[in-house]
Amino acid sequence: MLRSFTILAFVSGALLTSCKSSDSPFYEYMPDMYRSAAIEPYVDYGEVRERYDENRANTISAKVPPFGSIPFFGTDKEEVLMMMPYHRKPALGMDLTHNHYGAVLAADYDSEYLASANDKNPIKLTEANAEDVINYGKSVYAKQCQHCHGEAGDGKGPMVESGAYSGVPNYASLMIAEGQMFYSIYYGKGLMGAHGNTVSKKEIWAIIHYIKRLQDENYGKFGAAAVVAEETVEVEAAQ
């Protein structure tokens, strides 16, 4: 009898302290313990627990970080410096052509792009890290670039072959400095949109290393590997 009473008391308590959420078809036990009272992104606060507030319906709850905010990138000095805000400005008019609304624009169309030719890749290749860096760049390239630029970097990706886009350059004939490659990827150029909001600076610089490998199969090779690559090129040229 005592056991039955204990079970009944527990079930009754659970039912009294639980509630049905509008976000779920099931009952929840003490939702305040695991549902944050703080504002969360992507939640429509016009309806919360059967309460309605038309003034808050369908409004953005996620807030944009204050201008100049810098995410935490660890304590490695070189990586932190690499991930600092880009010091180049988008070209005049890019607020309309490449969605850089509210950005501080350059005074003209090409001075910042031309100046970016002086920027050097902060990821230095060594015999120990070269293949890892280039393979990392290759993996990011496959996700972010290959659909237009093609697996071989020949400008014949699936999107181009389908007829959706045209004018994508072949990397073999793309003779621009690595700093200009970064500027073009980060801010966009021509028909290519900006990628600075979807790809980190570290990823962009790694992509550039991979692009240079596509341009020159000897790029980033050291020691015996570089010698073998050079000999292979010479044999192919002779044939």
Sign of CA dihedral 229, 230, 231, 235: positive
pLDDT of residue 162: 94
Strand, helix or coil for residue 48:
strand
pLDDT of residue 236: 43
**Residue 46 vs residue 130, higher pLDDT:** 130
Placement of tokens 């003209």 in the chain: 108
Environment class of residue 208 by beta-carbon count within 10 Å: exposed (0-12), middle (13-18) or buried (19+)? buried
> Quick one: angle between helices 201-215 and 130-144, nearest 10?
100
Per-residue pLDDT for 92 more than 80? yes
> Which of 156, 136, 147 lies closest to 206 in space, CA to CA?
136
Domain boundaries, the chain: 2-56, 77-227
Measured CA to CA, the distance from residue 91 to residue 11 in angstroms comes to: 66
**Residue 157 vs residue 60, higher pLDDT:** 157
The letter for the amino acid at 41 is: P
Strand partners for 125: none
Fold of 77-227: Cytochrome Bc1 Complex; Chain D, domain 2 (1.10.760)
